[in-house]
Amino acid sequence: MKKSKKKLSKTKVRSEKKIDKVKKIKDVKHPIRTITLKFLILVSLVCGGLMFSDHQNFFNPDNINNHTLRKWNSYYDFTQKNDIDVLLVGNSHLYTGINPKNLSTALGCNAFILASPGTHVDDHYFALKEAIKISKPQLVVIETYGLKKLEPKQKSKGPLSDQFKSFSARKNSLSKITSMPSLFAVENYGYALSNTLRNHNFLYTNYDQIKKNINNDNEPRGDKNKLYLGRYIRFKTGIEDSILTKYKELGAPVNGDNYETNSLQSKYIKNIIELCESNDIEVIFLTLPMYEKHISNYDAWKSKLKETIGEKYSSDEYWIDMQLGEGYRKFTKASFESTYNSNQHMTYSGSLLATYKLVDFIQKQKRITLTNRRNDKEWIDLFYKEEGYLENNSPRKDDNENIVLYSSDSEIVKEILVLKKDKYNTLIAKVSPTSDVIANSIETKKIRVTLIVNNNGVQQSSYLDLPLDIYHSSNKKMNYTSNIKPIEILRISDIKFVD
Amino acid sequence: MIFNSIEFAIFFPIVFLLYWLLFCKTARTRNLYIILVSYFFYGIWDWRFLILIAISSLSDYLLGLQIHKSEDVKRRKLFLTVSVILNIGILGFFKYFNFFTDSFLDLFTLFGASFSYQRLNIILPVGISFYTFQTMSYTFDIYYKRLKPTKDPFAFFAFVSFFPQLVAGPIERAKDLLPQFYTIKTAEYSKIRSGMLIIALGLFKKIVIADRLAIYVDNVYSDVDSAQGLPMLMSAVFFAFQLYLDFSAYSDIAIGIARTLGFDLSTNFKRPYLAKSFSDFWNRWHISLSSWFRDYLYIPLGGNRNGKIATIKNIMIVFMVSGLWHGAFWNFVIWGSLCGVFLIVLDKSLLKIKIGRIFNSFIIFWCWTLSLVFFRSTTLGTSVDSFSNLGFSNSEKLYEYGLNSFEFKLAICLLVGILLIEILVEKNKISIDWILSKPAIVRYVFYFSVVVTTILFGSYGVDMNDNNFIYFQF
């Protein structure tokens, strides 16, 4: 009896307490203020958690193969100590089609490629905007493959994923947030801003990646201390016979008639031009080619693109179109990726041809003045051991490995040097034709260099014919090269052009 | 704009704050505000749909007044008929025109005649079946003198277009919801808090469980021919849960949103998979629609008052119409008919069997699950194929339909968890109030966990399919 009374009284107390609590809840003086405050605290906690996870890269995808991230990281690092002179913006066509180290060393300046795969002109604009805030270049080069009809709100999954990568790699939060409405549909804002939201499904599908990320085992590929200017070499061999057969049987996979443009695309092209003009930056457009049989009705493509770029910038002074390129440095099947897909990239050798064509174009435009850094010690230190430096510049005086055998200011052959390599040496004769006529007359010739060499203590004379190195030659500087055995060269006794 | 979208996550907090801070001073301004935001919410899909909802609201408002004013039974009947024709006309045209013309022509083709005609490209306005039924119930209730018509057009328009329940219910009765638009609301902390928790739990159910099950179900049904044996069977089970969790989540979110605005909507689901009979099931499943059909179709047809055969006939009519309400396809008619047959044939036997409630629930669940094969299939042909593919073979292919082994097992665990929670709720051991009565630290950890779990384990993202609520299509 007592027990049940006690139980009853306990229940009573409990229920009274509950009523008090309910009353207390009802008595909240400013319910909306309180609930808003608490809601905001909860949202802040959740957002804080997300930011923490994003910062720790728990849900980052495979960074090891994310060269977009590597490119931007390198850009931020590079610009801390150096200025950018030539900035190239585009997508995969650009970073496989231009070699920034050769471009830099040939022009004597700093050239950087900020190109993200699968992106279009809208992303190019925002990438450029962010890039010039950090370092203002003297010249901006826009590759035209990304200048296509734009419908950013309807991006399909593939391009959207590329867009996320490019967006994520940029660091300026304010620029990112202001660019979001232009790049993404509202439902993708969260995914654009947070890797955790975007890749939360890794919990189910890619748990190993999360483990890697937690163990900090997910740094982008490449040595941080090595110079990286945004190049990505993907294709080394050219078009195979099977693809050539397909061209014959099926025709070109790309038809210029199908190329579409729209006002949004034009708007962004205009924005890019205005952005450059308002910052006193020269801008040029660059069309990197596809194999001639890969595209049909290119004229239709070109005329539509011309319309969107506008009269001024589609003139020959502002637009270098390599699709119709001819001459001794003509692109061949070795210059292109072996694919029948519509999206054809260039090979390493093709990219060298394209790079020196671009060098020619830039040097030909008198309005473009780039800082000459060839005498800048820091620039020399930066590029000295990089590819293209010695093909375009003289070795340092203290260089005991790469030796100048001959130099002249007055002759057409300006310099002959021997470059030391692992298994063999390379002899390079640098020729500066004084006019295009001379250049045309010597492009098919070889340079015969007669050398006096030390052969086991005996001086001997022998000659070597150096053919034109089409991959490292511009109109103003033509390189004739040949590999030679590692032998001591005492002097050069004769230099002449031969057929 | 769907509840599990970023647009709604922006829309609702703004609506909520403006509602309480600016527009709740008088009932009229509040109602006007609700109409505006609801029309905005609905117009986002397609602004042209607004014309339909406005026509439906205006006509039923005026006809309701006329029915009430008229003493003459014939005139009352005439106004009711006009209301029914108008509402069913709109619904019929947008939802059933192509279905009936196709069926009609198929019938002629069966007898050798051939016709060629251009199908009309009609877009089905979102939620048309829901708000049409809601407004129709208003005129019916006035006709049957259960309700006096409102003279306040703002209250009526707000009642019809009230955005939380506009596109997928609960189908509210005017007598329950309309009076709530007459009174001034004051913000109640406890009500808003519980509303928010109901929303969060609804989103959890939808995003974490229903949408993950959807991956499997969609993959199986996209290739019925190859999904033979156990994968097909599991997809049927998963769909039964997906449908329940998806729709009940929508109802929960609607109820929660309305509650934060000071409105009470009716309960739409009461743990249907714990039903002990088929009639019990229909008292727990999509209650607002089941009761609508009971009150405005089954009882007017005579209900169970005219003997066994008439009762069977009435039940079958109700379930076939209910099937057709869900979609203008013969699949839905067959699904509805099957539900009717289960109720007529099995219910009495189930009530007689005294093995235990779990057994009854088990039988009901499987009957329901099998009937849903017709509900989920897009054509009669795929329904038949799906049925013939049900079985226990091909267990090695179980994880080939979008869910890997871990996801699949997790889904099973979550479903078991849901059932256990439902049993505890059924036994009054836990409830929303139970959670809210816990100490602050426990509550906040719970809230935080629900949100974080939804974010981390939810099925959403750019690679995911469109995660609309299933009942939006009806």
* Per-residue model confidence (pLDDT) at position B45: 83
Percent of chain A with pLDDT over 70: 92
Of B6, B17, B448, the CB nearest to A45: B448
Are B455 and A205 an interchain contact pair (Cβ–Cβ within 8 Å)? Answer: no
* Region A469-482 average pLDDT: 90
B27-43 helix and B49-69 helix, angle to the nearest 10 degrees? 140
Chain A residues touching B17 at Cβ < 8 A: 32, 36
Q: Which of A42, A156, A161, A208 to mutate to test the interface with B (most CBs of B within 10 A)?
A: A42
Residue A11 pLDDT > 60: no
Rounded CA separation B154/B170 (Å) = 21
Q: Which of B437, B462, B463 to mutate to test the interface with A (most CBs of A within 10 A)?
A: B462
Cis omega before residue B170 (within 30°)? yes
**Strand, helix or coil for residue B382:** helix
* Per-residue model confidence (pLDDT) at position A1: 46
- Residue B228 CA to its chain's centroid (Å): 30
Q: Which residue positions in chain B have pLDDT lower than 70?
A: 100, 104, 107, 110-122, 124, 463-467, 472-474
What string of H, E and C letters represents the secondary structure of B38-92?
HHHHHHCCCCCHHHHHHHHHHHHHHHHHHHHHCCCHHHHHHHHHHHHHHHHHHHH
The pTM of this model reads: 0.79
CATH number attached to the domain at A63-364 = 3.40.50.1110
Q: Which value, to the nearest 10 degrees, does the dihedral of the CA atoms of residues B49, B51, B54, B59 take?
A: -120
Are A26 and B188 an interchain contact pair (Cβ–Cβ within 8 Å)? Answer: yes
In A, residues 42-61, which contact B (CB 8 Å cutoff)? Answer: 42, 45-46, 49-50
* Per-residue model confidence (pLDDT) at position A56: 85
* Region A359-383 average pLDDT: 92
- Nearest-neighbour CA in chain A from B174: distance (Å): 28
- Nearest-neighbour CA in chain B from A157: distance (Å): 7
Are A35 and B452 an interchain contact pair (Cβ–Cβ within 8 Å)? Answer: no
Rounded CA separation B169/B126 (Å) = 12
* Region A381-398 average pLDDT: 91
Are A39 and B190 an interchain contact pair (Cβ–Cβ within 8 Å)? Answer: no
* Region A409-431 average pLDDT: 87
Mean pLDDT value across chain A? 87
Are B404 and A205 an interchain contact pair (Cβ–Cβ within 8 Å)? Answer: yes
CB contacts < 8 Å between A and B, how many?
A: 74
Nearest CA-CA partner of A131 in A318, A275, A309, A313: A275
Of A18, A35, A49, the CB nearest to B193: A35
Chain A residues touching B20 at Cβ < 8 A: 32
Contact predicate A424/A484, CB 8 Å: yes
* Per-residue model confidence (pLDDT) at position A442: 80
Rounded to a whole number, what is the distance in angstroms from the first to the last CA of chain B? 16
What radius of gyration do chain B's Cα atoms show?
23
- Residue B203 CA to its chain's centroid (Å): 16
- Residue B328 CA to its chain's centroid (Å): 16
Residue A427 pLDDT > 50: yes
Chain A residues touching B13 at Cβ < 8 A: 39
**Strand, helix or coil for residue B338:** helix
Rounded CA separation B206/B471 (Å) = 13
Contact predicate B181/B159, CB 8 Å: yes
Percent of chain A with pLDDT over 90: 49
Are B462 and A201 an interchain contact pair (Cβ–Cβ within 8 Å)? Answer: no
**What's the farthest any 2 CA atoms get from each other in chain B?**
74
Are B17 and A39 an interchain contact pair (Cβ–Cβ within 8 Å)? Answer: no
Chain B residues touching A21 at Cβ < 8 A: 437
Chain A residues touching B463 at Cβ < 8 A: 157, 201
Reported as a single tens digit per residue, the pLDDT across A13-64 is: 554 555 455 445 555 778 899 999 999 999 999 999 999 998 888 888 877 7
In A, residues 141-180, which contact B (CB 8 Å cutoff)? Answer: 157, 160-161
Query: Is ipTM strictly over 0.95?
Result: no
Both tokens assigned to A87: 């900035």
Question: Residue ranges per domain, chain A?
Answer: 2-55, 63-364, 396-498
Rounded CA separation A405/A428 (Å) = 10
Interface residues on B facing A, Cβ-Cβ cutoff 8 A = 5-7, 10, 13, 17, 20-21, 187-190, 192-193, 196, 404, 406-407, 410, 437, 444, 447-448, 451-452, 455-459, 461-463
Nearest CA-CA partner of A31 in B208, B124, B225, B24: B24
* Per-residue model confidence (pLDDT) at position B237: 95
Question: Which range among A105-109, A141-145, B329-333, B442-446 shows the weakest confidence by mean pLDDT?
Answer: B329-333
Reported as a single tens digit per residue, the pLDDT across B316-363 is: 999 999 998 888 788 899 999 999 999 998 877 777 777 778 888 898
Rounded CA separation A474/A51 (Å) = 50
Burial label for A498, CB within 10 Å (0-12, 13-18, 19+), is exposed
**Strand, helix or coil for residue B235:** helix
Are B437 and A18 an interchain contact pair (Cβ–Cβ within 8 Å)? Answer: yes
Chain B residues touching A191 at Cβ < 8 A: 461-462
Chain B residues touching A42 at Cβ < 8 A: 444, 447-448, 451
Are A200 and B190 an interchain contact pair (Cβ–Cβ within 8 Å)? Answer: no
**Chain B residue whose CA is closest to A154:** B462
Reported as a single tens digit per residue, the pLDDT across B371-398 is: 999 989 878 888 888 888 888 888 888 8
Question: Which range among A203-212, A344-353, B64-73 shows the weakest confidence by mean pLDDT?
Answer: A203-212
Angstrom distances, CA of residue A427 to CA of A414, A466, A488, B443? 14, 8, 12, 79
User: Is B326 a residue of the active site?
Assistant: yes
* Per-residue model confidence (pLDDT) at position A69: 87
Q: Which of A23, A24, A33, A35 to mutate to test the interface with B (most CBs of B within 10 A)?
A: A35
Rounded to a whole number, what is the distance in angstroms from the first to the last CA of chain A? 125
Rounded CA separation A261/A280 (Å) = 28
